Amino acid sequence: MHALRWSRGLAGIAAASAALLYSCTADADKPQANEVTVGFDAAPQSLYWYGEVDHAFNGDLAKDGAVLRVYNSLAAYNYEASLARLGEIDGLLYQVDVMPGYQIVRGGTTFGAYLGFDFQESQLSPNDPTNAVNGSKGGIKVALSCEYDEKKDPITGSLNGEYSSVFDTYYAEARLGLRLGDKLVLGPEAEADGDTGYNGQTLGGYATYTFDVAADVSFDATLAAGHQFISGGGSGPGGGAVTYDTLEVTTDF
């Protein structure tokens, strides 16, 4: 079963990666209807892969309109069970959500709101009856976002928040960046994420650099690192305390 879950999770992320590669052939002079993001997080006791595709139904992500977000992730992690006889537990958590939404664009500021369906499947080996995040479950998910990115302004920033009724999963992120030239943005970031029985917070910094693949094609690569705190100790899908690292690649087409 673990092998099957690995294949499903990585297949979804591979699809997002393929879309990312396809975007490298797109014409940047035309309105961009799609944004693709693929990434990887590493923390003590956890590895996390994710992919996201955003599509503007009006054909232009830079304008007001209805949008569709599809997000897929796979977390591989381990922790010490509260029941001593179980010892170390290996976990796989697969997740996918499909959320229609609407965005409002005002100059360099974009507001977004999404509501849709979330599915998660958690597999634990050996099975841990004390862990509420176990088995398959579907539910409702809501997300809000606000991003400021005016190319003429040296300051950038973003706020993102999500909540799912599946295992009471939540995520929040805040970033503030300083633009250094045309291609580099540096700044601090803070995150909070968790579910039933697990709460983590991170504080660190990030750097985003824009790479020009061709005359009309580019992508953004983001590196982030910092310290992760775990409320109440222990470890969950987001990993344990100490350091975390993130690599993320985003492009539009």
Which pLDDT belongs to residue 231?
A: 81
Place of tokens 């590895």: 47
CATH code: domain 2-252 is 2.40.160.40
Q: Do the beta carbons of residue 14 and residue 31 sit within 8 Å?
A: no
Of 39-53, 106-120, 142-156, 210-224, minimum mean pLDDT range = 210-224
Long-range contacts of 201-205 (CB under 8 A, 24+ apart): 201/228, 201/229, 201/231, 202/226, 202/227, 202/228, 202/229, 202/244, 203/227, 203/229, 204/244
Q: Give the distance, in angstroms, between the CA of residue 230 and the centroid of all CA atoms in the same chain.
A: 19
Which pLDDT belongs to residue 63?
A: 97
Which pLDDT belongs to residue 1?
A: 44
Which pLDDT belongs to residue 197?
A: 81
Read off the pLDDT band of 18 (50, 70, 90). low
Q: Tens of pLDDT along 83-92?
A: 767 788 999 9
This prediction's pTM: 0.87
Q: Do the beta carbons of residue 158 and residue 145 sit within 8 Å?
A: yes
**Mean pLDDT of the 98-112 span:** 97
Which pLDDT belongs to residue 241?
A: 82
Of 18-32, 54-68, 187-201, minimum mean pLDDT range = 18-32
For the chain, percent of residues with pLDDT exceeding 90 = 71
For the chain, percent of residues with pLDDT exceeding 70 = 87
Report the alpha-carbon distance of residue 230 to residue 216 in Å, rounded.
43
Beta bridge partners of 49: 40, 74
Looking at every residue in the chain, the average pLDDT score rounds to 89
**Mean pLDDT of the 65-87 span:** 89
Which pLDDT belongs to residue 4?
A: 47
Q: Tens of pLDDT along 160-175?
A: 999 999 999 999 999 9
- Choice between 122 and 87, residue whose per-residue pLDDT is larger: 122
Backbone angles phi, psi at 45, to 5 degrees: 70, 15
